[in-house]
Each structure stands twice: as C-alpha cells, then as structure tokens.
Amino acid sequence: MLFSSITFLFLFLPIVMAVYYLVPEKMKNPVLLAASIIFYAWGEPVYVVLMILSILLNYACGMDIALKAENERKARNSMIFVVTVNVLILGFFKYYGFLLDIVNGILPVNLPYRELALPIGISFFTFQEISYIVDVYRGKAKAQSSLIRFALYIAMFPQLIAGPIVRYEDIEPQLEQRHVSAKKLGQGAFLFIIGLAKKAILANTMGEIFEEISAISASNLSVMMAWLGCISYAFQIYFDFSGYSDMAIGLGRMFGFEFKKNFDYPYISKSITEFWRRWHISLSSWFREYVYIPLGGNQCSISKNIANLLIVWALTGMWHGAAWNFIVWGIYYGVILIMEKYVWGAVVDSLPKVVRRIYTMVLILIGWVFFFSPSLGYALRYLFAMVGGGAGIADSNAFFLLLTHWLFYLLAILGSSAAGSRILKSVIRIWGNSVVRTVVTGILFFGMLFISVAFLITDTYQPFLYFRF
C-alpha cells in the first residue's frame, strides 16, 4: 500500500484516523501498531513475518545489552552480534544476487540463484534497529521495556517504507506520551497534501518525461534532449523523495509525532558539501553518526580522513542499490567532497553565488546519470550524449516536450526552491482578515488535494522509486 494510492487515501487512512482518535490514550499505541502491520502486510504478506522477527530480535537484544551494561565486554559482544545479524539479513535480501554475479564473473563457475523480491523498506527499518542497538550500548538511549512501543518505533507506517530514518532517542518520549490536537491534525494534513501534490503532480509527470527520453538510445539523443532527460529525472527523484518525506512527517504529526525535516531545498545549494546537508538529511546523519565518526571521522590524519570518506560514500552508494553504478555514484560524491574539503573548496567559496549554484547543479546532474543508469556503460554513453556525442545539439522532439510541459517545469523550479513556498505564503497573507485567510488556505489546499487525486485517478504511470530500498 502506498500513500499515493486511492485505497490508502479514502479507505485505510480515514478508518485508522477515526479509530485512533476515538480510542482512549492507552490504546493509541496498539491501534497504530496494528494499523502499521496491516499496512505493511497489504503489500508484503510474507515479509511482514521477517519484519516481526527482526523486531523481536532487536527488542530482546536491546534488553540484553541493557542488562549487561555493567560488563563492557559482554555488552559489546551482544551489540556486535545483533548488528551483524541485522547487516547479514539486509545483505542477503539486497546484495546476494549482486555478489553471486561478481563471483560468476570472476571465477569459472556459474552459480544459479533465484531473484528475491526486496522487502519494502528493509533498509529503513534495519538502519533504525541498528541505531537503536548502538545507542543503547553507548548509553545514549534507554532500552525500551515495552514491546509494543518498540515495535511501533520500528513499524510505524508513516515512516516505515520511505523514511525518514528516525533515531530512537528523538522519538522515545513521544512513544510514551504525545499530544494530539486539532491544530496538529490540520498542520499534518496540510503537509501531507503538499507531499501528495509533489508526488502525484510533479514527480509522476517528470517521471513520464524521463521514461520517454530514456527509451531513446543514447546515441540518438541530442544534447538538448539528454540534458532535458537528466533534469526531468532530477525533478522526479526530488519530488518523489521529498514528497514521501513530507507525507510521512505530515502523517506523523496527525498522530501526534514530530519527525525532523528530511529535505531542505537541496537544489539551491552552492556546493556539493551543502547539497548533502540538505538532501535526505536523516540518511546523511545516520552514516555520519554510525559509520563516519566510528571510523575516526575527521579527528585523524588527512590520508585516514580521505579513506574514511571514500568508505562512507561507497557504502552510501551500496545502500541505494545492488549495482556497480550505485557504488560509482557514491564514490563520485566522495571524491567531490574530498576535493571541496582539501583542494578547491576555498576557490568555490570565492566565486559569485550564481556560478557556485551552476557548478553544484551540473555536478548533481552528472551524478544522477550514474544513479538512473541500468549499467556503467549506459551511464558513460548518456554522459557522452550530453556533451555532443549523440545526435546533434537540439531536435524538434526536445522542443515539443518543453513546449507541452513548460508549466510543470516552471512549477518544478518553484517547488524545488524556497520561492514556491514564499509565493504560497504571500497569496495567503494578502488577506488581512484571519477568517478569510483561513478560508483561502482551505480552498488552496483542498484544491491541491483535488488536483492530486485527479492525477492519481487518470494517470497510469505511478512509479514507486523506494522499491529498491
């Protein structure tokens, strides 16, 4: 079940909300947990068992680590054991086919294997479990004694399949007691609608354009068409990812939870370093806290720091998918970040703001080519087309796509910058009377909801990019 499905919007969510608000306080967690299990089982009837077993394992090991807190060696061994098991489970479902392909390519063997469907959201709930276990071991979080509360932390449907990655210490008090109100419900609903509009109207439309362009052989792409395809994908993935994050944060607020912001207008960045402070903030924070810092972070020699950055970014690439192009994508960003830190960062900072933004955006777009390509060979051919190695500079099809979709590109530009939000707020603030302002706000957001639903009903192209995670 997806947030952007008619079933979720008009059946699942209204029923869950009604029951949740009607039951007494002590029943809210069990109701939300039951709804989350049903939500996951709707699309993953088999793998819901895997998720439940994973929850039980990490709950028991968290309690075990807490009991062994006075014995550093035993506590550390328990922590290492459960983290290893979590990584092995994730690795089996996500990477075993990729590893066997490597083995078959290197050795004179042909080990057959069956492709397994990747459990939706396994990367997200596994990372949350690892962060919980490590934080309990470090003493930064108390082991959760309530199985229902712990299970809710892992399985909560608003952030289960698409993030953000929520650290246990950030949500622990809310699992025990949280405040629900009409104000929070309204704020959450508005944020959810904004996220839904991002997904249904902009991400899906840009995805359709990208699919049309990517169906053309790279050698037959004009420079204009190749860049248009890359730009379309950049908008698609941003509005898809940030849209789902907005929906998740909005849903969480509707149930009384406060999740941290996950995207902060990354395409306005003036360096790649800044970009990764703004893009998928919860994932970047996770790798910094649980991989980069334990490796030594920047509190070491320059050579060791460079090695740490390359390791972290190679792992970041692997997290996004079991293929060489994702690893190259991760290392690509690792190299750029190293160069900004030690080589040309000061030069970039001295450039005019517009030049810095162009520099950043070009590098981001090149990175997306590695990300969306099915193979490294295709990525190189596509990049070659972007610099004139395809079918000329421009073509009529590229102009046609621009002319027929100019409004969506305009909305995408506004929506991926703070300008869109400022314009929306300005329209609302025109009305001085608070009652009129409330009515106008309601009309705008219900209009946005209506248009989003119309797109969902009429559009057959509704990809879910998080399937690979």
Catalytic residues: 320
Distance between CA 309 and CA 378 in Å, rounded? 27
Largest CA distance in the chain: 77
Distance between CA 309 and CA 281 in Å, rounded? 17
Distance between CA 31 and CA 17 in Å, rounded? 10
| Structure tokens given for 265 | 């207008």
Q: Phi-psi category of 139—alpha, beta or left, where left has phi over 0 and alpha has psi -120 to 50? A: left
Distance between CA 267 and CA 91 in Å, rounded? 32
| Structure tokens given for 412 | 């995408």
Nearest to 205 by CA among 445, 459, 31, 447: 459
Nearest to 402 by CA among 204, 203, 213, 197: 213
Distance between CA 12 and CA 269 in Å, rounded? 38
Sequence letter at residue 460: T
DSSP 468: G
Distance between CA 194 and CA 449 in Å, rounded? 8
DSSP 166: -
Using DSSP, state whether 114 is helix, strand or coil. Answer: coil
Nearest to 178 by CA among 186, 189, 170: 170
Distance between CA 336 and CA 362 in Å, rounded? 12
- 120 neighbors 94 (Cβ within 8 angstroms): no
- 203 neighbors 4 (Cβ within 8 angstroms): no
Task: State the residue for tokens 């990367």.
Answer: 123
Q: What is the C-alpha R_g of the chain?
A: 23
Spell out the residues 6+ positions from residue 256 whose beta carbon is closer than 8 angstroms to its own. 28, 174, 178, 179, 180, 184
Q: Phi-psi category of 296—alpha, beta or left, where left has phi over 0 and alpha has psi -120 to 50? A: left
- 357 neighbors 268 (Cβ within 8 angstroms): yes
Spell out the residues 6+ positions from residue 210 whose beta carbon is closer than 8 angstroms to its own. 229, 232, 233, 236, 372
Determine which helix (DSSP H) or strand (DSSP E) holds 260, and give its type and residue range: none
Q: How many other CB atoms sit within 10 Å of the CB of residue 41?
A: 16
